[in-house]
């Protein structure tokens, strides 16, 4: 509760709550997104590197957020929050790759099955029948997104 009260002067500077929430998320999400994507798609990502990337990336995100609010006229303060999220994501990607080479993953027979050998592997797997099939659900989701885009565009 004290932490929330301490953040009030920083969070009171937003023109809307929507902008404030997006700005905060843009500084929290990059290390999480990086660890997820590299963990799923790259066999070389290690658990130690993921943990360190989450810690270092989170500290970096908080530091950039505070610098952005405390020094709004600096180059960090002038950078749009979506671009800052992208830059933080790139830094976290480089950090996790470097740390994964420093602390390599030790694969087991069970862990080898967690990675896709080919990007099409999930589509070749066994699916539930009927409406529970991920193929049907993903096609339905894509159709809904396209319809909503056409309606609201």
DSSP string, 93-115: HHHHHHHHHHS-----HHHHTTS
Length of the chain in terms of residues written: 153
Q: For 57, list phi and psi in degrees, rounded to 5.
A: -65, -35
What residues contact 135, with CB distance under 8 A and at least 6 apart? 123, 127
Q: What confidence score (pLDDT) does residue 74 get?
A: 86
**DSSP label of 130:** G
Q: What confidence score (pLDDT) does residue 4 get?
A: 67
E strand or H helix at 146, and its extent? helix 134-152
User: Which parts of the chain have pLDDT scores under 50?
Assistant: none
């Amino acid at each position: 509760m004290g932490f929330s009260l301490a953040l009030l002067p920083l969070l009171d500077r937003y023109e809307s709550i929507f902008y404030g929430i997006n700005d905060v998320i843009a500084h929290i999400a990059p290390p999480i997104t990086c660890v997820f994507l590299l963990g799923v798609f790259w066999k070389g990502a290690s658990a130690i590197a993921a943990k360190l990337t989450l810690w270092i990336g989170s500290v970096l995100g908080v530091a950039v957020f505070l610098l952005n609010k405390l020094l709004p006229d600096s180059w960090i303060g002038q950078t749009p929050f979506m671009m800052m999220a992208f830059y933080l994501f790139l830094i976290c990607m480089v950090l996790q790759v470097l740390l994964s080479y420093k602390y390599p993953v030790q694969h087991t027979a069970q862990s080898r099955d967690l990675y896709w050998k080919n990007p099409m592997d999930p589509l070749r797997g066994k699916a539930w029948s009927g409406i529970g099939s991920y193929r049907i659900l993903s096609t339905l989701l894509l159709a809904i997104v396209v319809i909503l885009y056409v309606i609201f565009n």
